Chain A
């Protein structure tokens, strides 16, 4: 019985390790060779944070006169 519990826990840890490796694989993206006119300045995996009237609100983008 104890062996089965240990085997189950080991399997669970193995699955978690796979997820951790997959998450770590998120390396910065390089511009493709054909996007010569685009110029990367930074790469990030966080959302931008902008202040709002009521609280610090997480937003993904800001629209403004372009």
Chain B
């Protein structure tokens, strides 16, 4: 006999949940796993938040140009971000922070005051991030700054899931959802796949469909939320090529990948890529699949997407 427990909470400025599936005699192990995941997510947030002036990341940003001691979590996140910048061909770039702040995203979104967006003169993408794991230190190019908001959620979900499995090996499945960045492993209590609805940006009450996963990661990025500027016409997706909020790109894109850590930066990259180029982008990355909702036009899927119960309008 198997059962599950869902635990909902706020972290990283968003709604989160942890779900565990376990044999009913493993309730204590399930509780232990959830507590370990919460602890890990809290530690990740304290290390990676750019809105916490005492975080490892804030201290590194403030010391740009100098070698700075960093903890293991920030070191791993920076390494993942550098890898993701390469894997996305530069479409995802963690050093867009100065451009993001200039565009108006200068506070946690919960406390953001609308103001007219600007841009930053002379800003260039691809600033150097040097890592020295042996000495637990890192150095950013002088004048640069890093934002790990997106990839931090994917990394935290992936890491929390691994911690849960390590702490409670008898779990039969688990899922960590950090505001839509989701890491899943194993089976749901009915031994079937985990079922994850894909929100419809045009109709909150009618999801685009349901993903069925036995493991892997999902992330959604888009310009339907987190609007910026006094009139709400801007958004938070900075195009590294211009340093301004991206013009081309879908309304939303959901990426399915082997892990949430991989899904997140590719979702960001596809969110600033012209919709008609999504097929070419994913053709070179066969382990990914995506559901795209164009600004105008019907939603469609590209690559391997285990989507069921979907709207008729979704072309698969």
* CB–CB A60/B195 < 8 A: yes
Residue numbers in A under 8 Å from B34 (CB-CB): 29
* CB–CB A32/B3 < 8 A: no
Residue numbers in A under 8 Å from B31 (CB-CB): 26-27, 29
Among residues of A, the one whose C-beta sits closest to the C-beta of B153 is A66
Over the window 24-39 of chain A, the binary record of Cβ atoms lying under 8 Å from chain B Cβ atoms (1 yes, 0 no) is 0111011110111111
Residue numbers in B under 8 Å from A54 (CB-CB): 309
How many residue pairs, one in A and one in B, have C-beta atoms under 8 Å apart? Answer: 177
Pick from B28, B41, B150: contact of A35, CB under 8 Å: B41
Number of B interface residues at 8 Å Cβ cutoff, please give it. Answer: 68
Query: Measured between C-beta atoms, what is the minimum distance from B54 to chain A in Å?
Result: 11
Residues A36 and B42 in contact in the complex (CB < 8 Å), given A61-B197, A63-B197:
yes
Stretch in B6-14, B60-68, B134-142, B239-247 touching the partner: B6-14
Say if the beta carbon of B17 comes within 8 Å of chain A.
yes
A55 to B308, CA, bound (A): 12
* CB–CB A34/B39 < 8 A: yes
Residues A19 and B6 in contact in the complex (CB < 8 Å), given A35-B42, A52-B209, A66-B220:
no
Pick from B11, B27, B197, B218: contact of A22, CB under 8 Å: B27
Query: Measured between C-beta atoms, what is the minimum distance from B237 to chain A in Å?
Result: 10
Over the window 16-58 of chain B, the binary record of Cβ atoms lying under 8 Å from chain A Cβ atoms (1 yes, 0 no) is 1101000011011011001110110111011000000000000
Residue numbers in B under 8 Å from A58 (CB-CB): 195
Residue numbers in B under 8 Å from A31 (CB-CB): 9, 35, 38
Pick from B6, B177, B198, B221: contact of A46, CB under 8 Å: B6
* CB–CB B196/A63 < 8 A: yes
Residue numbers in B under 8 Å from A37 (CB-CB): 11, 42, 45-46
Residue numbers in A under 8 Å from B254 (CB-CB): 63
Say if the beta carbon of A3 comes within 8 Å of chain B.
no
Say if the beta carbon of A4 comes within 8 Å of chain B.
no
Residue numbers in B under 8 Å from A32 (CB-CB): 35-36, 38-39, 42
Q: List 19 A-B contacts (CB under 8 A).
A: A34-B43, A35-B38, A35-B42, A45-B3, A47-B6, A52-B197, A53-B209, A55-B309, A59-B197, A59-B210, A60-B4, A61-B17, A61-B177, A63-B181, A63-B199, A63-B211, A64-B199, A65-B180, A66-B225
**Which residues of A are at the interface with B, using a C-beta cutoff of 8 A?**
19, 22-23, 25-27, 29-32, 34-48, 50-55, 57-66
**Which residues of B are at the interface with A, using a C-beta cutoff of 8 A?**
1, 3-11, 14, 16-17, 19, 24-25, 27-28, 30-31, 34-36, 38-39, 41-43, 45-46, 150, 153, 175, 177-182, 188, 194-199, 201, 205-207, 209-211, 218-226, 252, 254, 309-312
Closest 8 pairs between A and B when the two form their complex, measured CB to CB: A35-B42, A66-B179, A64-B199, A35-B38, A65-B222, A66-B180, A61-B177, A38-B11
